[in-house]
């Protein structure tokens, strides 16, 4: 038996012993007496009798344990030309100071704090300061518009919002403060205060009595030497809420707890990523996404690594060699990013010549996730970098790898197009719509047998019924991933598509239902369907098909432009919504359900079966013709 099979079997035969052993890597306040408590929580609960503090494990223990002068965070910002290395000692000082500011603003254990920030180190400091106080952070990605931010404010009711005056995108500065002000204006549950990081690229006005200056307030506490102890929390207390797209415009608040999260994440640094404490690890994502939470901030810091916080793009900041410069300059051993980043680099530098300008000799491994890794991109990356490329599959809900190649345990042979095998903790099955387990090689719903392992979501924020109905109801006894896939006879998984209305654009998870809600509100739109169509760079792009109201006599091009603008204003630029195709009719079932997945296959030129329930098959040809006319 290989080391992976041994590890998987040891988990399966005695999960309690497996997780208790790993839990020994965490510094608890009160030790867990056991790992799993089947009677607590929706499907059981992890380390329910233990107490701990995540900030202590990510920062304090490294300062006292010999890593005080090691870089904890390297901030590399080609977009501003800034570099900053922050040691664990400095990180602790910054976190304590911000925790003191939050305390002064009345933030205490259990209170929520929204963090709406660009990729600056203060975003990570803010997360850790909340963790230190036992407050629950909710990071909102900077590419979301005011209305999306307001929805999250109303759902989690933060006492305070930490933000910045601006973010910087290639060629333009994004003023964050007007977005924040608008969000607070339209939200029903207004935060009592905000803490604003002024950036020199575009400072903003502060509202007296509500807005506080990040630098001035933290400086006050650093000067005064204010101490803030780590607050003891239950392992099951929430560390954060991360909103992710559901099938409607109302996002799902994925909850992460403290104890199980630490246990699982720290373990993955060696087992999944084969990284030793002290090494430099880089996840090129954004703190607004789960990859940023888990692998820019928490896992590398829990493990005593140096993490790179990169404010830039794979191309254009300044060129397609930026990733190689960062790897070379900071001696990065492992990079984790989304395939779309590599497709962007490949498009600019097809031969990968820029990699030749840098010393990448210490670089060991590239990890890809967030969307399907197409074999072309993998082969290209292998050739240019000369290292193994590891695909792995997970979700916001899981927080860490569900299926991957456990390189730190045993590197398994790569099968292109497969993120490899189930990690210990996950019992993955492929089932048909009736919930029957399918034989190897057959396509079906990918589900995970309950309980989910430590680190996975225990529930949705204040929405236990939605948690049950969205994830646990359809296949009793299993967690529904909403991905469709195949498992081969060697246990290798192949993820093929989502089974819901979620699309994946440049590694960003978006709800087509959410976009439809926005478009349908346009006064000239009678009905619409948004689908994800194939795109060679971003994987998928949202495309809207609109039926206009009868009698509309304005130029259709005006309406198309207004719809595009509306989605950008209401959801944000991250939606990347630029395709609005006028149509006469939409293909539907006889019961009136729009056949979105058939439409997608028609547009992408894939094989499809005309659904037996279709009302009028001729509409599929019409849609294809409408699309061809639009695309020219
Ligand atoms: N704040 C404000 N606007 C933002 C933003 C932010 N934090 N992030 C993105 N946007 C904007 C972009 O500027 C773009 O605006 P535009 O329509 O005016 O051009 C829009 O949102 C769409 O962004 P994106 O889909 O990311 O496209 P892009 O052309 O800017 O970049 C890639 C494409 C592939 C280079 C980029 O998506 C990328 O690096 N992705 C890989 C890494 C990653 O983030 N993965 C996510 C999870 S692992
Ligand atoms: P998110 O919650 O944003 O991380 O998105 C999770 C979804 O992205 C999954 O449910 C999949 O549909 C998709 N995804 C993530 N990683 C992979 C992968 N390695 N291969 C295929 N799809 C992936």
User: Whose Cα sits closest to atom 15 in ligand 2?
Assistant: 370
Ligand 2 atom closest to the CA of 502, numbered from 1: 12
Q: Is 393 in the pocket of ligand 2 (CB under 6 A)?
A: yes
Distance from the CA of 225 to the center of ligand 2, in angstroms? 44
Task: Looking at the CA of residue 172, tell me the nearest atom of ligand 1.
Answer: 13
Cα distances (angstroms) measured from residue 529 to each of 211, 466, 590: 41, 24, 17
Q: Closest residue (by CA) to atom 3 of ligand 1?
A: 143
Minimal-distance CA residue to ligand 1 atom 10: 143
CB 313 within 8 A of CB 305: no
Supply the DSSP symbol for 571. Answer: T
Residue 558: burial class (beta carbons within 10 Å; 0-12, 13-18, 19+): exposed
pLDDT digit string (tens) for 64-86?
999 999 999 999 999 999 999 99
For the CA of 573, the closest atom of ligand 1 is 21
Q: Please count the residues of the chain.
A: 632
Task: Give, in degrees to the nearest 5, the angle at Cα 310 between 307 and 316.
Answer: 150
* Residue 290 CA, closest ligand 2 atom number: 4
The ligand 2 atom at the shortest distance from the C-alpha of residue 397 is: 2
How far is it, in rounded angstroms, from Cα 519 to Cα 530? 9
Most informative mutation of 145, 169, 309 for ligand 1 (most atoms within 8 A of CB): 169
Centroid of ligand 2 to alpha carbon of 251 (angstroms): 17
Token output for 234: 């239950």
User: What residue owns the CA closest to ligand 1's atom 40?
Assistant: 341
Ligand nearest to the CA of 494: 2
R_g of the chain, CA atoms, integer Å: 24
Where residue 542 falls (left for φ over 0; alpha for ψ -120 to 50; beta otherwise) is: beta
Q: Nearest ligand, CA of residue 372?
A: 2
Calculate how far, in angstroms, residue 374's C-alpha sits from the geometric centre of ligand 2: 13
601 lines ligand 2 (CB under 6 A): no
Helix or strand run (H / E) with residue 87: strand 82-87
Is the C-beta atom of 495 inside 6 A of ligand 2? yes
C-alpha of residue 395 to centroid of ligand 2, in Å: 6
N-term to C-term CA, the chain: 57
The matching CATH number, chosen from 3.30.300.30, 3.40.50.10300, 3.40.30.120, 3.30.365.10, for 506-631 is 3.30.300.30
pLDDT at position 249 is 77
According to DSSP, the β-strands at 112-116 and 332-337 are unpaired
Q: How deeply is 527 buried, as exposed, middle or buried, from its count of CB atoms within 10 A (0-12, 13-18, 19+)?
A: middle
Residue nearest atom 14 of ligand 2, based on CA coordinates: 371
Q: Is 244 in the pocket of ligand 2 (CB under 6 A)?
A: yes
CA-closest residue to ligand 2 atom 23: 371
Task: Decide whether any atom of ligand 2 lies within 6 Å of the 340 Cβ.
Answer: no
Which ligand 2 atom sits closest to the C-alpha of 289?
3
Using a 6 Å cutoff on CB, does residue 370 contact ligand 2?
A: yes
* 3-312+392-484 is a CATH 3.40.50.300 domain: no
CA distances from residue 122 to 60, 177, 334, 472 in whole angstroms, order as listed: 17, 16, 23, 37
The answer to whether residues 412 and 418 touch, using CB atoms and an 8 Å cutoff, is: no
Residue of 368, 419, 572, 576 to mutate, ligand 1, most atoms within 8 A of C-beta = 576
149, 340, 368: residue to mutate for ligand 1 pocket, most atoms within 8 A of CB: 340
C-alpha 294 to ligand 2 mean position (Å): 15
Quote the CA–CA distance of 144 and 179 in Å, as a whole number. 9
| Ligand 2 atom closest to 393 (CA) | 19
CA distance 474 to 181: 41
Q: Is the CB of 369 under 6 A from ligand 2?
A: yes
| Site of tokens 């990347």 | 576
Give yes or no for a contact between 182 and 161, defined as CB atoms under 8 angstroms apart: no
214-224 and 88-104 helices, crossing angle to 10°: 110
> In terms of pTM, does the model score above 0.75?
yes
Beta pairing partners, 30: 51
**pLDDT confidence of residue 393:** 98
Which of helix, strand or coil describes residue 111?
A: coil
The DSSP code sequence of 575-631 is G---EEEE-S---BBTTS-B-HHHHHHHHHT---PPPTTBS-THHHHHHHHHHHHHH
Cβ contacts of 219 within 8 Å, gap of 6 or more? 97
Give the integer Cα–Cα distance in Å for 104 and 99.
Answer: 9
pLDDT given for residue 554 in this prediction: 94
For residue 389, the ligand closest to its alpha carbon is: 2
Work out which ligand 2 atom sits closest to the CA atom of 482: 10
Ligand 2 within 6 A of CB of 504: yes
Is the shortest distance between the CB of 148 and ligand 2 below 6 Å?
no
Q: Which residues line ligand 1 (CB under 6 A)?
A: 118, 142-143, 167, 169, 174, 284-286, 289, 291, 313-315, 337-338, 340-341, 344, 370, 505-508, 538, 573-574, 576
pLDDT at 157: 98
Of all ligands present, the nearest one to the C-alpha of 316 is 1
Phi-psi region of 594 (alpha: psi -120 to 50; beta: other; left: phi over 0): beta
- Residue 401 CA: which ligand is closest? 2
Alpha carbon of 574 to ligand 1 centroid (Å): 6
Residues of the chain with pLDDT under 50: none
Ligand 1 mean position, distance from CA 573 (Å): 8
- For the CA of 368, the nearest atom of ligand 2: 19
Q: Which two tokens stand for residue 218?
A: 């933290």
Give residue limits of the domains in the chain: 3-312+392-484, 506-631
Which of 286, 287, 394, 501, when mutated, tests ligand 2's pocket best, judged by the most ligand atoms within 8 Å of its CB?
394
Structure tokens at 464: 């236990």
Residue nearest atom 13 of ligand 1, based on CA coordinates: 169
Work out which ligand 1 atom sits closest to the CA atom of 288: 7
Cα 34 from Cα 321, distance rounded (Å)? 49
Give pLDDT, residue 439. 97
In the structure encoding, which two tokens stand for residue 105, read together? 């603003």
């Amino acid at each position: 038996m290989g080391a992976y099979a041994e590890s998987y079997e040891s988990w399966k035969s005695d999960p309690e012993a497996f997780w208790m052993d790993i839990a020994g890597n965490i510094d608890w306040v009160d030790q867990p007496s056991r790992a799993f408590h089947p009677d607590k929580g929706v499907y059981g609960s992890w380390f329910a009798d233990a107490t701990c503090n995540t900030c202590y494990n990510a920062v304090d223990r490294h300062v006292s344990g010999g890593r005080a002068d090691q870089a904890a965070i390297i901030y590399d910002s080609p977009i501003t030309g800034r570099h900053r290395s922050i040691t664990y000692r400095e990180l602790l000082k910054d976190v304590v100071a911000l925790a003191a500011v939050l305390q002064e603003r009345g933030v205490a254990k259990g209170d929520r704090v929204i963090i709406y920030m660009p990729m600056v180190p203060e975003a990570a400091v803010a997360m850790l300061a909340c963790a230190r106080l036992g407050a629950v952070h909710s990071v909102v990605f900077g590419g979301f518009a005011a209305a999306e931010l307001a929805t999250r404010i109303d759902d989690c009711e933060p006492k305070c919002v930490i933000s910045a005056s601006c973010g910087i995108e290639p060629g333009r500065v994004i003023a964050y403060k007007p977005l924040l002000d608008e969000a607070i204006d339209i939200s029903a549950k207004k935060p009592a205060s905000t803490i604003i990081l002024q950036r020199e690229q575009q400072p903003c006005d502060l509202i007296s009595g509500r807005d506080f200056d990040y630098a001035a307030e933290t400086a006050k506490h650093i000067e005064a030497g204010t101490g803030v102890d780590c607050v003891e929390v239950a392992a099951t207390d929430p560390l954060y809420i991360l909103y992710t797209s559901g099938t409607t415009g109302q996002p799902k608040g994925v909850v992460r707890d403290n104890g199980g999260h630490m246990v699982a994440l720290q373990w993955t640094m060696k087992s999944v990523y084969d990284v030793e404490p002290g090494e430099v690890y880089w996840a090129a994502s954004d703190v607004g996404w789960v990859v940023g939470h888990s692998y820019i901030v928490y896992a590398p810091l829990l493990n005593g690594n140096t993490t790179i916080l990169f404010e830039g793009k794979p191309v254009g900041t300044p060129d397609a060699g930026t990733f190689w410069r960062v790897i070379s300059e900071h001696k990065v051993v492992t990079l984790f990013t989304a395939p779309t980043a590599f497709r962007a680099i490949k498009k600019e530098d097809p031969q990968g010549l820029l990699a030749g300008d840098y010393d990448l000799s210490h670089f060991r491994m590239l990890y890809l996730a967030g969307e399907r890794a197409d074999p072309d991109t993998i082969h290209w990356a292998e050739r240019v970098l000369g290292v193994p490329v590891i695909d792995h599959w997970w979700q916001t809900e899981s927080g860490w790898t569900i299926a991957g190649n456990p390189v730190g345990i045993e590197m398994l042979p790569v099968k292109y197009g497969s993120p490899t095998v189930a990690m210990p903790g996950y019992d993955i099955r492929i089932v048909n719509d009736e919930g029957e387990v399918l034989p190897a090689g057959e396509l079906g719903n990918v589900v995970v047998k309950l309980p989910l392992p430590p680190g996975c979501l225990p529930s949705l924020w204040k929405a236990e019924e939605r948690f049950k109905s969205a994830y646990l109801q359809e296949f009793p006894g299993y967690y529904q991933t909403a991905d469709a896939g195949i498992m081969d006879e060697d246990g290798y998984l192949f993820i093929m598509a989502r089974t819901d209305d979620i699309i994946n654009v440049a590694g960003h998870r978006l709800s087509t239902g959410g976009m439809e809600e926005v478009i349908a509100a346009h006064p000239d739109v009678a009905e619409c369907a948004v689908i994800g169509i194939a795109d060679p760079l971003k994987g998928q792009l949202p495309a809207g098909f609109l039926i206009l109201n009868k009698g509309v006599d304005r130029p259709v091009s005006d309406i198309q432009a207004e719809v595009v603008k509306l989605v950008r204003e209401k959801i944000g630029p991250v939606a990347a919504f630029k395709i609005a195709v006028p149509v006469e009719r939409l293909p539907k079932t006889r019961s009136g359900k729009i056949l979105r997945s058939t439409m997608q296959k028609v547009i992408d030129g894939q094989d499809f079966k005309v659904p037996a329930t279709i009302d009028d098959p001729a509409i599929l040809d019409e849609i294809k013709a409408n699309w061809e006319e639009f695309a020219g």
